[in-house]
Amino acid sequence: DVKVTQSSRYLVKRTGEKVFLECVQDMDHENMFWYRQDPGLGLRLIYFSYDVKMKEKGDIPEGYSVSREKKERFSLILESASTNQTSMYLCASRTGYPYGYTFGSGTRLTVV
Amino acid sequence: GESVGLHLPTLSVQEGDNSIINCAYSNSASDYFIWYKQESGKGPQFIIDIRSNMDKRQGQRVTVLLNKTVKHLSLQIAATQPGDSAVYFCAENMVGNTGNQFYFGTGTSLTVIP
């Protein structure tokens, strides 16, 4: 069974902290994505990667960076957490176009 | 970015009734669509998909209808059950500002009344 695993379900961090959100998939998928989900705004794309070492900015990359050193792992980094980054973060992967995404369970991040 | 889905934000149905959830997508060039279900505290789960060369596709208790003329997608759930209570998103796959990927609607919250 296809799996996307996000390392934390809930996180509470302080303003200014560097935060790492980890995502691992076991499906040998090429493409990986990070979204944030906020009420009334839906899913917004932060960063994505179509291959190892490759990364592309999504629609809202400011304040974030990513790392993809291995095919199965895609990390989202909040360089200096701020309260407006409090959100649900969703990782997704797919084998490529034109297939659908498999999502992780999400990480609910609260920045205080 | 692109936006998808002029949904009603909430829908309440009686258990056993059929549910219809609607979605208006934005790009006539979109060629692949998916409905996702998201239960509280969980990530979205794939329900059913449809490609643009089809008008209708059926799954177990679910049917997706695609009307390309008016750029409209609907999800029909037959004999709705309490376990169907969730937020439902439509997603369209297209080439946008950030490459070839899915764009999601804000979702419709379905509540099933026992």
Contact B106/B90 with Cβ under 8 angstroms? Answer: no
Identity of the residue numbered A81: A
> Do you find a cis peptide bond into B114, omega within 30 degrees of 0?
no
DSSP three-state, residue B1: coil
Contact B107/B21 with Cβ under 8 angstroms? Answer: no
Pick from A52-56, A61-65, A96-100, B27-31: least confident:
A96-100
Identify from B8, B98, B109 which residue to disrupt to test chain A contact, counting A C-beta atoms within 10 A and taking the largest count.
Answer: B98
B7 pLDDT above the threshold of 60: no
Report d(CA A30, CA B72) in Å as an integer. 30
Kindly report, residue by residue over A23-74, the tens digit of the pLDDT.
Answer: 999 989 999 999 999 987 889 999 999 989 889 999 899 999 999 999 999 9
Which positions in chain B touch A101 (Cβ < 8 Å)?
34, 44, 46, 91, 102
Which positions in chain B touch A50 (Cβ < 8 Å)?
99
β-sheet with B56-58: strand ranges across: B19-24, B72-77, B62-67, B56-58
**pLDDT the model gives residue A1:** 66
- Residue of chain A with shortest Cα separation from B101: A97
Q: Are strands A23-25 and A4-6 parallel, antiparallel or unpaired?
A: antiparallel
**pLDDT the model gives residue B111:** 96
Please name the residues between 27 and 56 in chain A that touch chain B, using a CB distance below 8 Å.
31, 33, 35, 40-45, 48, 50, 56
Question: If you average pLDDT over every residue of chain A, what do you get?
Answer: 93
Kindly report, residue by residue over B44-97, the tens digit of the pLDDT.
Answer: 999 999 999 999 999 999 999 999 999 999 999 999 999 999 999 899 988 766
Which positions in chain A touch B100 (Cβ < 8 Å)?
97
**B106–A contact, CB cutoff 8 A:** yes
A20 pLDDT above the threshold of 80: yes
- By Cβ distance, the residue of B3, B4, B102 closest to A101 is B102
Which residue would you say has higher pLDDT here, B105 or B76?
Answer: B76
Report d(CA A78, CA A21) in Å as an integer. 8
